[in-house]
Structure 1
Amino acid sequence: MAQFDPRRQPMRFAPHLLTAAAAVTVAMLAGRVYQPAQAEVVPELTALQIASLEARAFDAAGAPAGLTAPEAVPVQIRRGETFEQAVRRTGIGEADASAVAATLSNAFDLSQMRAGLKFETAIARPRGGRGDARLIGLTMRTGPASQLTVSRSFDGALRLRALEERVTHETVVLKSEVRGSLSATAQRMGADAAVRRRATQLFAHKLDLDRDVRAADEFTLVFDRSVTENGRTVDTGDLLYAELKGVVFYRFQPAGAREAQYYDASGKNMRSSMMRTPLDRGFRVSSSFGFRTHPISGYRKMHQGTDFAAGTGTPVIAPADGVVVEARRWGGYGNWLRIRHSNGLESGYAHLSRYGSGIRAGQRVSQGQVVAYVGSTGASTGPHLHYELWRNGQRINPAGIRMDQSSTLEGAQLTAFRAEKARIDRIIAAGGERRPTTLQANVEGLRPAASAG
């Protein structure tokens, strides 16, 4: 205990000093508490970023109480089925199906949806296995770059959002070496089926794609396409340019012509009167025209056609314009097709698995059209196409047929072609071309609701 010292003056705190100190402290604290906050400017999100955030929110939300984690369930509307009936096949109850239908109807008339329309759902099921499942989300594509999304919020309400992706139109310059086959290589590089089919049909006018094309041969394809922000191709245009082994094609549509044709660098039409082979991919010549030992009878006899070994279902194309004369069963030839062309030529196809759509006697066909599919019907040891050519009723060697050329552009048409050729050459030199665009189109089977218009 401290001793009292009479010589030391006692210390005293004036009440007004305590009051002043307290006031200063309160003022300082008040300044901190009530100082206005500075808000940060949040940048606008793109449609792709919004969709990504929604997907992450679904994942983070986990499963509702008593339900399993949501699973993706694809749905396709069947013939004679309503939207509610289709969505109920996922296991959700009648009330849930009606609720999501009412939500979507704010944007589209669901009664106009046609059979075949597809959409994705996210469904959570009862953990005990009893009771109705619950719809957590639904995504329906309404156009090449647009979709509707229905999602369930944390309070159980359904929310509707329309997303529109930005679309870029680009001209693609695809250059590569052949690895395996021309078509397979082009597919790996991003060319769709229509572009690959057109390229192989063009080259088939000048090259035997089975014997003339080898691995490491370089090719170039130029075509238009439209892609979304996430790289999904929504539309592919025509093939503008194709080059392989020195054979070059430029697409050009002369004034007044019904359709575009393909020309070489000088303006000569590259479309020949007869393609070299009736197959454009996945084949090899297994037996040529001439004497051979028959694989079934064992006798040496004349083989009056060319056999192409190919897998069952490989498309057979018309080598020239013509009219179907026969499409029927014919003895050891199995399913048989015969087409009459110009200049006294006829072509025949045997051992087919089936015919192309609409192929029957009297039907006109165009060069490059799929008329049948490879098979092994009749007297056959395996899947292959037996191909014959007649001239004035006599069988001839398909390999010896002369490929006549079409006309060459002149005058104003040649000037216009040279301008288009120069444009394509500039795109090739630049490695391609990109330009933003807008693309709005409703998917077939969906029409805007009357209330939305």
Structure 2
Amino acid sequence: MAQFDPRRQPTRFAPHLLTAAAALTVAMLAGRVYQPAQAAEVPELTSQQVANLEARAFASANAPEGLTAPEAVNVQIRKGETFEQAVRRTGIGEADAHAVAETISNAFDLADLRAGLKFETAISKPRGGMGEARLIGLTMRTGPASQLTVSRSFDGALRLRALDEKVTHEIVVAHGTVNSSLASSAGAFGATSAIIRRATQVFSGKVDMRRDVRGADEFTLVFDRSVTEQGRTVSTGDLMYAEIKGQAFYRFKPAGARETAYFDASGKNLKTTAMRAPLATFRRISSGFGVRVHPLSGFRKMHQGMDYAAVTGTPVVAPADGVVVEARRWGGYGNWLRIRHSNGLETGYGHLSRYGSGIRAGQRVSQGQIVAYVGTTGASTGPHLHYEIWRNGQRINPASVRTSEGTVLAGADLAAFRAEKARIDRIIAQGGERKPATMQADVQGLRPARG
């Protein structure tokens, strides 16, 4: 045991030395275990990965508790079906369908709905597969530029919003080159099927639209239309001007005329009393009017018309204005069509594959209008059009009917035409014309219905 010696001074440790030693020890240990934090590089996501993440995030946010993410379900009202019955076909319950119908009825009379009307719903289904689906949203167009939208809020209430789109009236100058067809090329400018049919009708007597029109041929169509802010065509007016392959025609209605017509730049009407051929395109005249050996019976027999060899589906046009007398099946003629014209003339068409839109007995047709399509029905050896002409009830040779030139404007009509032509030329030069919108966008919340 160590003895205490009063003569020896006790050993003392200064506090600052302890502090220094402790700091040194901590520093040495820290140098071994501490490293500066390094930020890990996150791999760059592809656009597809980003889209998938967004879709999952939206689906998760929109999925109601216990239900799957909403799915779009298109509905079309069937004949004799009520709105509620149509909505029930999406899988939602009776109470939900009734609530939706009551909500819609705040802004629209459901009694006005007709069979064929379409609307879109968003439906969520139970995750376990048991129970009724639930309607999350519904969109229904109630007019050319108006629609109703029903959406379910977070508290379960159904809320109705009405939208009236802004509609602008404009005159479109569709100028371009023909690619695959005039229909597709002009359609890119907003030309509807009605405008294309009108243009084809205008050119039918002057240009072979199948043989003469080639790729890179320039065309210009001028027409008026009403269009929404989203670019959707609500309606179109008539064709005002049409030009292709150097053939140009202006729409004009002379004083006292029953309908508009088309005139060239000099004021000459392109319409004739009768066109010699009812086909815009055909390969050849395979059989003329007169006695021949019948290709099926082998006997010499009077052929009381002309046969035009053409492929099935070739459009048949009315050679002049008239009224459909017959559109029916008739023995060896197959599908048969007969049209009565002025001056005691009638025309007949046999072996048709089908009739034009709306063609039936009593229907009035215009010169150049598509009335049927070439086929090989009845007693026929191949696709062709059998064409007949009657004068005062007697069949005559179609080749003997002369075409007369269209009328030429004069006097006050010519002056009015020149003014209209100048207006259309001005619109073409400026690339079109736009008029102020007739409706203002109006989105409003209406009385909600609980559901």
CA distance in structure 2 between the partners assigned to 1:235 and 1:363 by the alignment: 24
Q: Give, in angstroms, the shift of residue 286 of structure 1.
A: 5.5
Q: Give, in angstroms, the shift of residue 70 of structure 1.
A: 1.5
Q: Give, in angstroms, the shift of residue 197 of structure 1.
A: 0.7
What is the count of residue pairs matched by the alignment?
A: 385
8 Å CA contact retained: 2:388, 2:395: no
Structure 2 segments unaligned to the other structure (5+ residues): 1-13, 17-54, 441-451
CA distance in structure 1 between the partners assigned to 2:387 and 2:136 by the alignment: 57
CA distance in structure 2 between the partners assigned to 1:382 and 1:130 by the alignment: 61
Structure 1 residues 406 and 59: alpha-carbon distance in aligned structure 2, compared to 1, 3 A threshold: farther
Matched to 2:397, the amino acid is I
Alignment RMSD: 3.3
CA distance in structure 1 between the partners assigned to 2:97 and 2:438 by the alignment: 34
Structure 1 residues 363 and 112: alpha-carbon distance in aligned structure 2, compared to 1, 3 A threshold: closer
Cα displacement string for residues 246-273 of structure 1 (whole angstroms, at most 9, x for unaligned residues): 2221111233433222111122222222
Matched to 2:253, the amino acid is Q
Matched to 2:332, the amino acid is G
Matched to 2:193, the amino acid is A
8 Å CA contact retained: 2:271, 2:367: no
Matched to 1:421, the amino acid is K
Q: Give, in angstroms, the shift of residue 153 of structure 1.
A: 1.3
8 Å CA contact retained: 1:308, 1:386: no
CA distance in structure 2 between the partners assigned to 1:252 and 1:408 by the alignment: 12
Judge which range, 381-390 or 402-411, deviates more: 381-390
SS at match of 2:436: strand
Q: Give, in angstroms, the shift of residue 84 of structure 1.
A: 0.8
Judge which range, 105-114 or 373-382, deviates more: 373-382
Q: Give, in angstroms, the shift of residue 397 of structure 1.
A: 4.8
Match of 1:158 in 2: 158
8 Å CA contact retained: 1:310, 1:385: no
Q: Give, in angstroms, the shift of residue 299 of structure 1.
A: 9.3
8 Å CA contact retained: 2:324, 2:359: no
Q: Give, in angstroms, the shift of residue 378 of structure 1.
A: 0.8
CA distance in structure 2 between the partners assigned to 1:230 and 1:59 by the alignment: 26
Q: Give, in angstroms, the shift of residue 319 of structure 1.
A: 1.8
Structure 1 residues 75 and 328: alpha-carbon distance in aligned structure 2, compared to 1, 3 A threshold: closer
CA distance in structure 2 between the partners assigned to 1:220 and 1:173 by the alignment: 7
Matched to 2:250, the amino acid is Y
Q: Give, in angstroms, the shift of residue 413 of structure 1.
A: 2.3
Match of 1:245 in 2: 245
Match of 1:431 in 2: 431
8 Å CA contact retained: 1:351, 1:378: yes
CA distance in structure 2 between the partners assigned to 1:173 and 1:340 by the alignment: 37
Q: Does 1:387 align with 2:387?
A: yes
Matched to 2:263, the amino acid is Y
Q: Give, in angstroms, the shift of residue 325 of structure 1.
A: 4.6
Q: Give, in angstroms, the shift of residue 68 of structure 1.
A: 2.2
8 Å CA contact retained: 2:276, 2:398: no
Structure 1 residues 382 and 391: alpha-carbon distance in aligned structure 2, compared to 1, 3 A threshold: same
Equivalence map 1:194-233=2 (5 Å) = 194-233=194-233
Match of 1:306 in 2: 307
Equivalence map 1:255-270=2 (5 Å) = 255-270=255-270
Structure 1 residues 160 and 248: alpha-carbon distance in aligned structure 2, compared to 1, 3 A threshold: same
8 Å CA contact retained: 2:327, 2:359: no
Structure 1 segments unaligned to the other structure (5+ residues): 4-54, 441-453
CA distance in structure 2 between the partners assigned to 1:286 and 1:185 by the alignment: 29
Taking every aligned residue pair, what percent have the same amino acid on both sides?
71
Q: Give, in angstroms, the shift of residue 91 of structure 1.
A: 0.8
Matched to 2:114, the amino acid is R
Q: Does 1:67 align with 2:67?
A: yes
Match of 1:191 in 2: 191
Q: TM-score, normalised by structure 1?
A: 0.74
Q: TM-score, normalised by structure 2?
A: 0.75
CA distance in structure 1 between the partners assigned to 2:236 and 2:299 by the alignment: 52
